[in-house]
Amino acid sequence: MTIDSIEVLFQQELKDLYDAEKRLTKAIPKMAKAAGSDELKTALTEHLEQTKNQVQRLEQVFEIVGVKAQAKACPGMKGIIEEGEEVIERDAEDTFADLGLVGAARRVEHYEMAGYRSLIALAEAMGQDQARELLEETLEEEQEADRRLEELGQQLLEQVSQAGDEDEEEDEDDEEVEEDEEEEQPAPARRGK
């Protein structure tokens, strides 16, 4: 299909984002299942519900612009989801696995935000205010999801940092005990010739 107007470009971008969101309704449950942190599991599960609503909102946008709701394969999201699956399969301790999941989920959010910003600009150029408002609603949800993931990531990093500080303190305590034990040992007797 030749893209020769803003309307045609909008339709192609809309189909691409529709596919991305539909793929996410299948990928997010896997990420939530892999999460070790209850907060991360909850955040992903709640965002899954939002994502289902976002799919319906995109279907409304298709209806507004008079086009049949149809997905066009989104290789970008497919790749980001594959990266997320690699994160899930890594051999990592819980906190580090969760940090990896946060990173993967944030890449998803940023990809989506870029797509929605593009569609919003096109909808505005077309004078499609109702479509633009629906897209802006979803963009706000994606931004909020990203903020929440960022906060969770910071909390996880603090946990790692605190655990590292505790390990260092334990190592220092162990070193002090070893030094005390060495001081208590009597000096070896000297033999005379």
What is the 8-class DSSP label of residue 35? -
Tens-of-pLDDT digits for all 193 residues of the chain?
799 999 999 999 999 999 999 999 999 999 999 999 999 999 999 999 999 999 999 999 999 999 999 999 999 999 999 999 999 999 988 899 999 999 999 999 999 999 999 999 999 999 999 999 999 999 999 999 999 999 999 999 998 888 766 666 665 555 555 665 666 655 555 545 4
- Cα radius of gyration rounded to whole Å, the chain: 26
Report d(CA 116, CA 139) in Å as an integer: 6
Question: pLDDT at position 193, please?
Answer: 45
Among candidates 38, 113, 34, 22, which has minimal Cα distance to 72? 22
Identity of the residue numbered 166: E
- How many other CB atoms are found less than 10 A from the CB of residue 92? 15
Question: pLDDT at position 162, please?
Answer: 85
Among candidates 130, 133, 135, which has minimal Cα distance to 18? 135
Give the CATH number of domain 6-165; options: 2.20.28.10, 1.20.1440.230, 3.40.50.970, 1.20.1260.10.
1.20.1260.10
